[in-house]
Amino acid sequence: MSEHDVQREVTELQAKSATAARIFDLRRIIGGLFVLYGIIVTIAGINPSDSSLDKSEGININLWTGLGMLALGIFFLIWLKLKPAAPAKVDEKPDDA
């Protein structure tokens, strides 16, 4: 097995690979999950009980964490909106480069 054999094999496989064309955009998942988590945790922080405020040193940590997570989720969704993934090139021919 020489270097050239490995390179040829991987180059051929890479030409047939489907990941680039078919994989979904991760930004949608991160954005969606953090928006959902952000909403849940923010709601938990809207009317904090005294005991939960005492526990977290007087800081309404649910509210702040929830808003932070919401902001991160929205950031990913905006990024996705502004720069969608480039359409994958449809190229079935092996690439000799």
Question: In the chain, where does DSSP find H-type helix?
Answer: 3-16, 19-22, 26-46, 50-55, 61-82
Asked if 96 is part of the footprint of other proteins (rule: CB under 8 A), the reply reads: no
State the burial class of residue 34 (Cβ atoms within 10 Å of its Cβ: 0-12, 13-18, 19+). Answer: buried
Q: CB within 8 A of 25, min separation 6: which ones?
A: 80, 84, 85
Please work out the total of residues on this chain that contact other proteins, with binding judged by CB under 8 A: 45
User: What is the pattern of x (binds other proteins, CB under 8 A) and - over residues 54-83?
Assistant: -xxx-x-xx-xxx-xx--x-----------
Residues 40-59 that bind other proteins (CB under 8 A): 40-41, 44-45, 48, 52-53, 55-57, 59
Q: Which residues bind other proteins (CB under 8 A)?
A: 1-3, 6-7, 10-11, 13-14, 16-24, 26, 29-30, 33-34, 36-37, 40-41, 44-45, 48, 52-53, 55-57, 59, 61-62, 64-66, 68-69, 72, 97
